[in-house]
Structure 1
């Protein structure tokens, strides 16, 4: 099964760049059960593991597309991820609304490079997702540069979790997750060495928002997705730059099912930003990152 998009990017109203698909058709979840239980308590969300059918139905009704992904953290968690092949097959079934991103565990070395290549070239994923804290690695470590170089050569963006970690919150020792691996400054080295690699820093990067702003403003290949936080809680500096220096760098993203598109958009409408930058945040900037050229 190879994914091929049938999305009418001119007709949709928005692209949600951050949606979790964390349980495959065999019922295998991306995280051990205790991590899932802790995340439900932390986020106070509704359905924690929606099916691809549920996700597609929601975004179809909203006239939006959604980037779906999981995270391969097998080394850190001792738990295999849900199937990437199943994720891609599910996106292909709903290719009018869903876009698949892949994931590999950087700590598996050469195997990660081989698997990333397979996912892009054979499965047709449109990007790769990483969560340094959950996967337990420092993305600036030179040992991972060959992986980032290969992803750059494959021509797809790399999406990295940054900032506060909801996963592991409330667990003993935070579930073993180290927050420092999610400092956006660790991505600046990659952005500098691989200027053709599009890097997306996921989430407002609390407590390092100024660092994230600086990187996105300084590096043409770096973007910020706005997932995981209701816009009413966005750091003031992020909102201030949204209408000017970051206008072309911000991406609509929710973290669904942890935050619904309806709630995000309702709060986004209240932000004091220029009306003319809103369409870019909701769709235009995402099309640039994804390499989509509108017909109009």
Structure 2
């Protein structure tokens, strides 16, 4: 009895993230392949955490998938697929550039044929307009091939990008999207989904969000209540936990997430089960 009491007391003083269940981190940048993955895993282990899966992508920061070099993009996609094949629980997230036209569509089909389930495209760093018809062609084809399309939604472009992404998802209802960062500081826009669901034939309920980066800003902030309100309005089942490593660590992310005033059931879904359901065959 004494031992159990002491153990319970000790657990009260552990950081919330340290006692959390394994998380599915859906947004991990591996800028240097195997080396980056090893650094991520060491950081997670040192923090006393564990992952049940992680979605990895190669580009970000200085490593952009730019228009006009599809051969280089294909080679990097292959390297990521090979890396994921060596590590249990690692989900490769391929990329293309929408302005590469048929070459991009061919690469989509090729990576889908190799078992890839997710595609990441980034309007800001890849320098394309989400409203460009070539983007709609690409994401529709991705949906046909069973690929989930991850797109940056930090609203760091002039005028923001949420409206364009919303209309893109409306125009491609058979494609599932994950909008990263849930709109950044313009996250309030996404409460529109609660109304969109009431309009017959308008919305395919095909939008998901990861809360990487934003969760570290919202926790304990004046915006926290509205942030949680938005998560519930877009649908807790459509929210994924993600770190955006290396910009943010999984430890930082989980510590902030655990401070949000969500129920235990909501937290369990966001930590892992939503990602697993989304990626289920």
Q: Which runs of 5+ in 1 are unaligned?
A: 1-11, 26-49, 166-178
Mark the runs of 5 or more structure 2 residues left unpaired by the alignment: 1-20, 197-202
Please, which of 96, 106, 116 is the counterpart of residue 108 of structure 2? Answer: 116
Residue aligning to 1:28: none
Which residue of 2 is the match for residue 32 of structure 1?
A: none
Structure with a larger share of its residues in helix: 2
Given candidates 20, 26, 37, the residue that maps to 1:17 is: 26
Q: Which residue of 2 aligns with 1:93?
A: 86
TM-score by length of 2: 0.76
Q: 1:75 pairs with 53, 59, 67, which one?
A: 67
TM-score normalized by structure 1? Answer: 0.73
Shift of residue 59 of structure 1? 5.4
Give secondary structure in 1 for the equivalent of 2:99: helix
Q: Give 3-state SS (helix, strand or coil) of 1:101's partner.
A: strand
Cross-structure match for 1:249: 238
C-alpha separation in 1, matches of 2:239 and 2:229: 12
The Cα RMSD (Å) is 2.8
Post-superposition offset of 1:182: 5.6
Residues matched between the structures, number: 242
The Cα shift of 1:67 comes to 0.2
2:252 aligned to which of 230, 249, 263: 263
- Give the corresponding residue for 2:270: 281
- The offset of 1:275, in angstroms, is 2.1
Q: For residues 16 and 231 of structure 1, what CA distance do their matches in structure 2 show? A: 15
Whether the 8 Å contact between 2:136 and 2:172 is mirrored in structure 1 is no
In structure 2, C-alpha distance between the alignment counterparts of 1:217 and 1:202, rounded to whole Å: 21
Over 3 Å counting, the alpha-carbon distance change for 1:63 and 1:16 in structure 2 is: closer
- State which structure, 1 or 2, has the greater radius of gyration over its C-alpha atoms: 2
